[in-house]
Structure formats: C-alpha cells, structure tokens
Amino acid sequence: MSLTDTQHAIHAFIAERIELDGFAPSQAEIARAFGFKGVRAAQYHLEALEAAGIVERTAGVARSLRLLQLPDGPQQLPLPTNDDVLQLPVLGQVAAGVPIGADIGSEQVVLMDRTFFSPAPDYLLKVKGDSMRDEGIFDGDLIGVHRTSDARNGQVVIARIDDEITVKLLKIGQGPLGNRTIRLLPRNPDYAPIEVQPGQDFAIEGLYCGLVRPNA
C-alpha cells in the first residue's frame, strides 16, 4: 500500500514521540502537530498506517499505538514480554485532604503493557470531569500516575491543593516581586486556572504518564 507524504510524516512523528516520551501521541496531539481541524483527519491517516502494517492499536486503550515498522525500513520492533506487564491498582474515591498512596486501597487491579506508559506508573486514578479534555483526558478515563513530588514546568501533574486532588498542567512562573508563582492550568477553556496562593497547602502527588479508556 502506497502512503502519502503526510502519512510518512505522521509515521516519523509517532516514532519520534515514542523515542522522546516513551509512549505514543494521542490522536488529538497528532491533529495539533499537523494542523488538522479535528481528530477525524488523524484517525483517517492512522487507519491507513494500520492497513499498511506499520502501526497497530489496542481497542479501548488510549495512546496504544505501537510501531510495527521503523520509519527508515521494515525492521520489526520487539513485542512485549511478560516482564513488560504491570499490575496496577485502580484507586477509587480519594478522601478529602488525604494524599494519594498505597494505603488508600483499590477497587480493582488491571494488567497493562508497560510500553503504554512512561515513566512506569505506580497506580491508576479514575478521572472525574473534563477539565483536561484538550489533552485527550476525559471523564471516566483511568490515568497512570508515577508517584513523585518532583515535576517540571509544563508537565501534567496530579496535585493536592488544600483538600482536593486535581489533574492539571503545571505552570511555574515569576511574580512581579521576583517570587515564584504556581498555576494549575486546565486544558479546557470552560475552566479557569487554579492560582496556588502563598502558604496554601499544596503538593505534587505524581506525574501523569498515560491513560486507559474503559469501554471505548
């Protein structure tokens, strides 16, 4: 099957993102990168790559694109082994003010391919709401969380602010007096950014590292 120049470029883009991030881009990210008006155009090109045997996808799992061929030739990529399978607890309702951790308990445990995530998650957390819609994270999704208190500017983080847990884009800046400012940005224009105030109870609980979409 003959591919278009755009499809070759998307193939290379997917390979680059997997190399840099450790997981494949979402359809929304592909659409933004190539200036498509919507994800349907990205879906069309991914279907062509799948039909050509270049990528494969797992039904019901977001960011599940796997390269079967590298951009520069027909070299086959290794399939996951048993060592690549993760057993991840799915956390339920998080009590107000309680940091996310192993002591909360879980509703279930799921088996996931390690290659879907980077870095490897410690648990899955159920998303409530659509404030991260434009990041490809929707209500009901299960997001992988790598437990850490360290995060860089521009990363999607799981943060605790006062008595609430939230998933947002971390934005670190500098105020007019030279003080450090922290904002938690939604990826949905219907929601306002959260400004972390000095002295407010705030902590990074972990980094977002991929997601699973049940019943997709």
Mean of pLDDT values over 37-41 = 78
Q: Is 3 left (phi over 0), alpha (psi -120 to 50) or beta?
A: beta
User: Which of 57-61, 98-102, 157-161 shows the lowest mean pLDDT across its residues?
Assistant: 98-102
Distance CA 95, CA 163 (A): 8
pLDDT of residue 212: 76
| pLDDT confidence bin for 170, thresholds 50/70/90 | very high
Residue 112 near residue 133, CB atoms below 8 Å: no
Q: What is the mean pLDDT of the chain?
A: 78
pLDDT score for 77: 45
* 4-26: pLDDT as tens digits: 878 888 888 888 887 777 778 88
Residue 66 CA to residue 56 CA, distance in Å, equals 5
Percent over 90 (pLDDT), the chain: 12
Strand, helix or coil for residue 17: helix
3-state secondary structure of 156: strand
| pLDDT at site 82 | 54
CA pair distance 39, 29, nearest whole angstrom: 9
Note the pLDDT tens digit of each residue in 104-148.
Answer: 455 566 666 666 677 888 888 888 888 888 888 888 888 888 999
Mean pLDDT of 55-67: 77
Sorted by where each starts, the structural domains of the chain and their CATH numbers stand as 5-67 (1.10.10.10), 84-212 (2.10.109.10)
Q: What is the pLDDT of residue 37?
A: 72
The predicted structure's pLDDT at residue 199: 86
Query: What's the pLDDT at 107?
Result: 53
> Positive or negative, the Cα torsion across 112, 113, 115, 119?
positive
Quick one: average pLDDT of 47-65? 81
Helix count (H) and strand count (E) of the chain? 3, 11
* % of the chain exceeding 70 in pLDDT: 77
Does residue 154 surpass a pLDDT of 60? yes
Quick one: which of 100, 82, 164 has its CA closest to 129?
164
- Contact (CB, 8 A) for 209 and 146: yes
Predicted pLDDT at 102: 39
Band the pLDDT of 155: cuts 50, 70, 90. Answer: very high
Residues designated catalytic: 131, 168
pLDDT the model gives residue 103: 41
